[in-house]
Structure 1
Amino acid sequence: MSVDLVIFDCDGVLIDSESLAARVHAEALGALGYPTSAAELIRRFTGVPDREMYAVIESEWGRSLPADYDERARAALSALYARDLRPIPGVGAALDGIRHPVCVASSSAPDKLRTVLRLTGLHDRFAPNIFSASQVSRGKPAPDLFLFAAERMGVAPARCLVIEDSVAGVAAAVAAGMPVLGFTGASHCGPGHGERLTQAGAGAVFDDMRRLAPLVAERGAS
């Protein structure tokens, strides 16, 4: 079946942000006495909404995070993004090469999505078709967000193609009945990441955005 819509995750697919976010949270959590590292947070929570990461940490830790934790983490991350955030190399040209509709479906909150996409010059490529996990009951790896995006775009799930960098995101696409390509070109993707995406259900894995348009075209979407 041909593809009528390409759905992009944001962090780790459009922008190289996962390593930055993990660094901020590792430092903030460590200061509170919760022992972790950026690498551990990347391994466990890439693609998972912050609210769900917080719930897991609080359960394991046996105590609640400070009421202002999210606000302080977002402020620290915004400052880091303003200085260091970059789009994934080649993503603009990749978007130029895709002729069918595109949208974003991300675990990030709407305000963060607006900020990071504007900082990297990508916002107008997708607006207004930018969807957040805050709009659904369950985040990735549940299929809710991808199904919501497909419904809003008026496309049957089986005719959507998802571009994801996380195991949780790939699992969400598979659960939604959507074919998915795994991207491993972001700075947080270490050895073996592509194999993990394949095991989760990615139909193909690539590490260079110059390969995306041809991969999409092979599936009848351009």
Structure 2
Amino acid sequence: MEQCLLFDCDGTLVDSEKLCNLGIVIKFDELGIKLDAEQLMMKYRGWELAAVFEQLSAEFGVTLPSDFVAEYRSVVAGLFDSELQPIAGIKAALDLLPGPKAVVSNGPADKIKQALALCGLTHYFGSNIYSAYDIGIWKPDPAIYTFAAKDMGFDSKDCIVIEDGLVGVEAGYKAGMQTLFYNRFNQTCAFPSVITFNTMDELPELINSQ
């Protein structure tokens, strides 16, 4: 049976999470609030942006300007243009995985497309891009993955999810899909059937053994 591979984007395909959080640091600095990009990354990896901003604004007692998100997106787009790189080993891994593939992300579609284009990954996925902003479902809700699977023409049992954060891992696991956790930061995963790996060099063999 052919399997469909469903990839997260930020931190799984492209090394973008530090840049996204640097954008938060830059924008909150304008409000007089000092944040640390590394700490933000570890705390909020995979979260819906609105939830991150809601929590930070409550923590520091600030009301974000109406154009804050748009300006943040612009800052991140600039950082992507100058600094974004693919995750180490991902191109070689994708070259060895010729089957159907899609990107399933909590990020907006234009950000996903920009990231894939800058990193030379667009041709691996074509138009198979599923954004939480378009679907109206955010990880860790598993419905984002079941939606993508159905739209790709696959049952959940025939899909493999590749994620780098616990929010996405939870979504894949609860969607009833074999989930592979690219665990760059050696986090503890509570879901028993999730397979953890540390480098993209391992990915093709892991997938082909499923």
- TM more than 0.5: yes
Counterpart pick for 1:194 among 186, 190, 193: 186
Take 1:36 and 1:201, find their aligned partners in 2: how far apart are those partners? 34
Take 1:204 and 1:114, find their aligned partners in 2: how far apart are those partners? 28
Take 1:89 and 1:39, find their aligned partners in 2: how far apart are those partners? 19
Contact 2:173 2:194 in 1 (8 A): no
Take 1:200 and 1:45, find their aligned partners in 2: how far apart are those partners? 19
Compared CA separation, residues 28 and 209, structure 1 to 2 (3 A) = same
Compared CA separation, residues 201 and 137, structure 1 to 2 (3 A) = farther
- How far apart are 1:34 and its partner, in Å? 3.8
Match of 1:52? 51
Structure 1 residue identity aligned to 2:194: G
For residue 135 of structure 1, give the secondary structure of its aligned residue in structure 2.
helix
Number of residues paired by the alignment? 210
For residue 32 of structure 1, give the secondary structure of its aligned residue in structure 2.
coil
Residues 97-151 of structure 1: CA deviation (Å, up to 9, x unaligned): 1132111001110111111111111112101101101123331111121111111
Contact 2:182 2:198 in 1 (8 A): yes
Take 1:82 and 1:201, find their aligned partners in 2: how far apart are those partners? 39
Alignment RMSD (CA, Å): 1.8
Deviates more, 1:95-104 or 1:36-45: 36-45
- How far apart are 1:200 and its partner, in Å? 4.5
Structure 1 residue identity aligned to 2:27: A
Residues 3-53 of structure 1: CA deviation (Å, up to 9, x unaligned): 611100011011001011111212311331344321232122211121222
- How far apart are 1:202 and its partner, in Å? 6.1
Compared CA separation, residues 61 and 123, structure 1 to 2 (3 A) = same
Contact 1:143 1:176 in 2 (8 A): yes
For residue 102 of structure 2, give the secondary structure of its aligned residue in structure 1.
strand
Compared CA separation, residues 130 and 37, structure 1 to 2 (3 A) = same
Match of 1:218? 209
Match of 1:142? 141
% identity of equivalent residues: 32
Take 2:198 and 2:37, find their aligned partners in 1: how far apart are those partners? 21
Match of 2:177? 178
- How far apart are 1:68 and its partner, in Å? 1.1
Take 2:151 and 2:58, find their aligned partners in 1: how far apart are those partners? 34
Deviates more, 1:148-157 or 1:199-208: 199-208
- How far apart are 1:154 and its partner, in Å? 1.1
Contact 2:161 2:179 in 1 (8 A): yes
Structure 2 residue identity aligned to 1:8: F
Match of 1:70? 69
Q: TM-score, normalised by structure 1?
A: 0.87
